[in-house]
Structure 1
Amino acid sequence: MAQQATPVRTARLGRALGPEPTAVSGAVLLLPAGEEISARRPSPLLATASVRALGRRLSRTGREDGLVAHVVHYRYRGWNGPEAHLAADADWAVEEVVRRYGDVTVCLVGVGMGGRAALRTAGHEAVNSVVALAPWLPEEDVAASPEPVKQLAGRRVLLVHGTNDERSDPELSFRLAARAKKANRDVCRFEVHTDGHGLRQYRDEVIALTEDFVMGAVFGRALSRPVQDALAAPPPLGLRMPLAAGFGRSLRH
């Protein structure tokens, strides 16, 4: 009896979150969290839960400017060492957006391991900005190559990390941001004091900060004063900027 070939796994884009604009001029790709090692398929609902609300908010805010938001569905749950499956899927997703919508500006927004994928994939010519929320990054080993930052040159980059994150070390995202800042002044990092990996305690503030940054990076809207200050400040000030409670309540979009 002939053996059936194992189906080839493919990444895919979820349906556009919210009503699609009449003409698309910018796209946000939402990269969910993942695991360090896993060959299992992600659970569609569980994997995307952390980014769907954010995507709907961005879609609603940017619709008049032509913003579309899609969740990236990975082939595997895991990064899986040198295979870097999540980064490869993010890169495919950028290509797919360009194929669908043409010459549009792309912002990558990743959470946890998805934050690492967003940072790693930023070198694509269509990408102009990256948001990494509580990014999972590997321990820096002097005997191994550090996580690359050259691909971040020319992009606006925002990292956000809770100071009480026990799953992804906030100090590692600070070190990466410090290395990236040496070659790219448009890097900033906000610290959410006492918050953990899920950034749930200050969820509204994190969403408002992300919204402010994405609209400014993709469409040139005026950035809020705290983001302007963080981008302009030299290290370490602009990389340890505290996210104030209530951020976003007085912002006009």
Structure 2
Amino acid sequence: MTPNRRQQQDGDQHLVVLVLPGGKVSSHRPARAWHLSNLRMCPFTAQLRLSGVKAVQARYRVRGWNGAERSPVADARAALDAITKRNSQAQVILLGHSMGGRVAAELCGDPAVVGVVALAPWWPDGTSVNLRS
């Protein structure tokens, strides 16, 4: 381990940050790694890893929220489920930007989720947010 990497303490060995990128209001076009919404979150993911924190960046199948479809929620749910399948004691922090903040709010009720960080979250008028306390 390099000197600038923090060694995890016993209490945070199960900590995982699920990074949730933004997207578009409506688009069924495929999401690509080189889209700005994904690239924007890469420095967050990289810095977390350099700090010794396990970080997983979600990949959405399509770019848009797409109304009632809530398209990225299923992909983020699959990423969260994969984390908890690998580590049943995982304590997950959801880190989302824009649409990713809204995705985080949709998943915050999962028992593995211990925190949400929503950077410039996208909350359209009339949207209710039910974050658990």
Q: TM-score range by the shorter chain?
A: 0.7 to 0.9
User: What are the Cα deviations for residues 195-233 of structure 1, in whole angstroms up to 9, with x where unaligned?
Assistant: xxxxxxxxxxxxxxxxxxxxxxxxxxxxxxxxxxxxxxx
Q: CA deviation at 1:100?
A: 1.6
Write the letter of the residue equivalent to 1:147: S
Q: CA deviation at 1:55?
A: 1.3
Q: CA deviation at 1:99?
A: 0.8
* Preserved contact between residue 26 and residue 68 of structure 1 (Cα < 8 Å): yes
Higher relative contact order (CA 8 A, sep 6+): 2
Q: Unaligned 5+ residue runs, structure 1? A: 1-17, 141-145, 155-253
* Preserved contact between residue 111 and residue 132 of structure 1 (Cα < 8 Å): yes
Task: Quote the Cα distance in structure 2 between the aligned partners of 1:89 and 1:124.
Answer: 15
1:120 paired residue number: 106
Task: Quote the Cα distance in structure 2 between the aligned partners of 1:119 and 1:68.
Answer: 21
1:45 paired residue number: 34
Q: In the alignment, which of 36, 46, 54 is matched to residue 25 of structure 2?
A: 36
Q: Unaligned 5+ residue runs, structure 2? A: none
Q: Provide the secondary structure at the position in 1 that maps to 2:117.
A: strand
Task: Quote the Cα distance in structure 2 between the aligned partners of 1:136 and 1:108.
Answer: 15
2:75 paired residue number: 89
Write the letter of the residue equivalent to 2:101: G
Task: Quote the Cα distance in structure 1 between the aligned partners of 2:33 and 2:73.
Answer: 18
Matches of residues 79-228 of structure 1 in structure 2 within 5 Å?
Answer: 79-140=65-126, 146-149=127-130, 152-154=131-133
Q: CA deviation at 1:123?
A: 0.6
Corresponding residue pairs, total? 123
Q: CA deviation at 1:73?
A: 0.4
1:57 paired residue number: 47
Write the letter of the residue equivalent to 2:68: P
Task: Quote the Cα distance in structure 1 between the aligned partners of 2:96 and 2:64.
Answer: 14
Q: Provide the secondary structure at the position in 2 that maps to 1:89.
A: helix
1:169 paired residue number: none
Task: Quote the Cα distance in structure 1 between the aligned partners of 2:129 and 2:38.
Answer: 26
- % identical aligned pairs: 34
Task: Quote the Cα distance in structure 1 between the aligned partners of 2:110 and 2:78.
Answer: 10
Q: Provide the secondary structure at the position in 2 that maps to 1:28.
A: strand
TM-score (norm 1): 0.46
Task: Quote the Cα distance in structure 2 between the aligned partners of 1:114 and 1:147.
Answer: 16
**Pair member with larger Rg:** 1
Q: CA deviation at 1:101?
A: 2.4
User: What are the Cα deviations for residues 116-149 of structure 1, in whole angstroms up to 9, with x where unaligned?
Assistant: 1011211111001001111111112xxxxx4231
Task: Quote the Cα distance in structure 1 between the aligned partners of 2:14 and 2:48.
Answer: 14
Task: Quote the Cα distance in structure 1 between the aligned partners of 2:129 and 2:43.
Answer: 30
Task: Quote the Cα distance in structure 2 between the aligned partners of 1:102 and 1:125.
Answer: 11
Task: Quote the Cα distance in structure 2 between the aligned partners of 1:50 and 1:119.
Answer: 20
